[in-house]
Chain A
């Protein structure tokens, strides 16, 4: 350690505030550098690429907004992928949120075995999607899969051909994704639940509030910031669903599970249409931005930050 730093009263030193500011930026620097190099630059580059026709291997050709015009007017698949992504999001987000909340409430107790259950429900989150999807393909097998076996035992004579019909392929992807996502949301909800002061429940009990009233008037309102967070990250995640689709169905059958990011990936790395893929990526960004902005705006009506 140098002599100056060991003498806090040395003259001509920077003010404390200034030093703290510099230290702050230094702490930020590693992350900031990564962000600038791998994200910010790529974002700017992708905007530029989206205005070109580029196969990655030849020189890009500037074509203005043609990619955007094409995808909005000429690409029949773009509408399909929008619908599929919307379908996935509208079902999977509420499902994973509600189930996660239920689990969190169930596990927000002091019972001994609870950490074990929490771990079990969290395991899918940290398991690679590719591995999970491969296993689920077996679960979904119409003849030998465990899912149809269970349905059959429950008295359903002709359980669905999960992955090979257009009706059931997307629900299959949703089931897998909810199963995988729910543990993460559960942990966030648990953290939210534990931040609620027990004194409120005690006071409510003394006033004669029942379980349901306590849940309705204490837990739910005080959990709204957590719910808001869960909703935002789930929606953003859902709009970008990709690896589950790739492994489980490959976007099929007949494009029934083709989502936006799958479309981007195939256009970019199978057909080598980088410009077009970048344009689709920007459409996705705009969608995510709008949805998130809307949620941000609406939160004033239902999110309570008082605790």
Chain B
């Protein structure tokens, strides 16, 4: 090769390398500043006084199909409004980016625990003036799921209302009737028969089957996140913070918290009646129960469509208790974004989609507990089997409390996940983990 060729080759390599170095590293940065799509400002069609309202819709294709049908009906009755669904805008990262770009969807979506960080930043519009003006009836919504969406600038649960709940998320204990029977459990759980922890633990031991050093069937499978173990801590009497609606300090040092956390993690680390993270990471918790590999499983209403496809008999029972019944409240809401250009049209759509009609349609899919009493306490919800005992979801709601409502919820949750990881892989005891959570909670809460 000639000297010239040499240089050219070297030049190409230099250029390519430098290009990759600079372009690659800063993709992250580039992603930050990428603007939202322009479709949020679709121009009005020739002469028509059309207002376009975009609506962030969460969920699977079946849910989105229901939302689309609601949107179609709304448009048929309101020919001055064009509704566009955007399923990506319901994603936290995408939503935040759209808001930052100044092009938020008119109707945004927030889970109960994303909502505080949106509240603090004024992303959603207070609905009170619309509600008063239209005498919109809030009575049909369960009070428990309306209250958390109130915010007065300092504390949650008080002040103006910023969202209307599309559902309530409550967790019950699913159980496999076939496995229970095979293990000789004669008295099937009923809505009135609340098991205590000991009885539940006995069941998990009786239904866990080992073969050749490996567990073939587990008595219990659990998601290990905070929403789940907090139920056990509450049942023992331990709140995580001083005020769930405006936390200022950790109360994780309450021995009752450890009592609940201990029993929860013992299923994996001591009793072996619940699978370790190694097993569930690949299999999925719900899939293990749906596959008939576990006798019981704690999760929300949204599991029902999946379990209806399984080939064994199953039902739900109340959460096992220690000193009192307990339940974690979750859920999600739709609200009008402050950055929306069409507040009035958005309100018309919002009040329609969380109405009884929309909730009835979602309830038919089987996957949610309606936020409206008229739908939840109807035959449609109570008699759609399995599960036979739908009433349990409504019973549990009475005991439900939210996890701390605070903009730093993601940080608190990370503290808990990291510590729980260490407990489940045997590098920390439950007591050490809870003590560390307590310290880190206080550091985070004091910094805000």
Q: Which A residues form the contact surface with B (CB < 8 A)?
A: 35, 38-39, 41-43, 45-46, 49, 55-58, 137-138, 140-145, 161-166, 225, 228-229, 232-233, 236-237, 240, 252-255, 261, 264-266, 268-272, 274, 277-278, 281, 284-285, 288-289, 292, 305-307
Assembly CA distance A78 to B191 (angstroms): 49
Q: How far apart are the CA atoms of A306 and B410 in the complex, in Å?
A: 56
Q: How large is the interface on B (under 10, 10 to 19, 20 to 34, 35 or more residues)?
A: 35 or more
B32, B100, B418, B427: the one contacting A42 at CB < 8 Å is B32
Partner of B23, one of A35, A271, A306: A35
Tell me, rounded to whole Å, the shortest Cβ–Cβ distance linking B315 to chain A: 28
Contact A228 B1 (CB under 8 A): no
Is there an interface contact between B123 and A57, defined as CB atoms closer than 8 Å?
A: yes
A280 to B, closest residue via Cβ: B28
- The answer to whether B45 has its CB under 8 Å from any CB of chain A is no
Question: Cβ of B421 and Cβ of A253 under 8 Å apart?
Answer: yes
Q: Is the CB of B282 within 8 A of A138?
A: yes
Expressed in whole angstroms, the Cα–Cα distance for A49 and B425 within the complex equals 38
**A57 surroundings in chain B (CB, below 8 A):** 96, 99-100, 121, 123
In the complex, how many angstroms separate the beta carbon of B278 from the nearest chain A beta carbon?
4
**Binding stretch for chain A, among B10-18, B201-209, B252-260:** B10-18
Bound CA–CA A20/B63 (angstroms): 58
Q: Say if the beta carbon of B276 comes within 8 Å of chain A.
A: yes
Interfacial chain A residues near B32, Cβ < 8 Å: 42, 45-46, 49, 56, 268, 274, 277-278
**Contact of B33 with A253 in the complex, beta carbons under 8 Å:** no
A159 to chain B, nearest CB (A): 11
The answer to whether residues A39 and B23 also contact, given A140-B282, A281-B29 and a CB cut-off of 8 A, is yes
With both beta carbons as reference points, the residue of chain B lying nearest to A287 in the complex is identified as B25
Q: Show the binding face of B for A, using Cβ within 8 Å.
A: 1, 6, 9-10, 13, 16-17, 20-26, 28-30, 32-34, 92-93, 96-97, 99-100, 117, 121, 123, 214, 276-279, 281-283, 410-411, 414, 417-418, 421-422, 424-425, 427
User: Contacts A42-B32, A225-B13 given: A236-B281 contact, CB under 8 Å?
Assistant: no
Cα A140 to Cα B23 in complex, Å, equals 33
Residues of B near A38 (CB, < 8 A) are 30, 34
**Cβ–Cβ < 8 Å partners of A137 in chain B:** 281-282
Partner of B13, one of A49, A55, A138, A228: A228
Does A305 lie within 8 Å of B9, measured CB to CB?
yes
Residue numbers in A under 8 Å from B410 (CB-CB): 270-271
Whether A237 contacts B24 in the complex (CB less than 8 A), given A45-B29, A56-B97, comes out as yes
- Complex partner residue of A236 from B25, B30, B34, B214, CB under 8 angstroms: B25
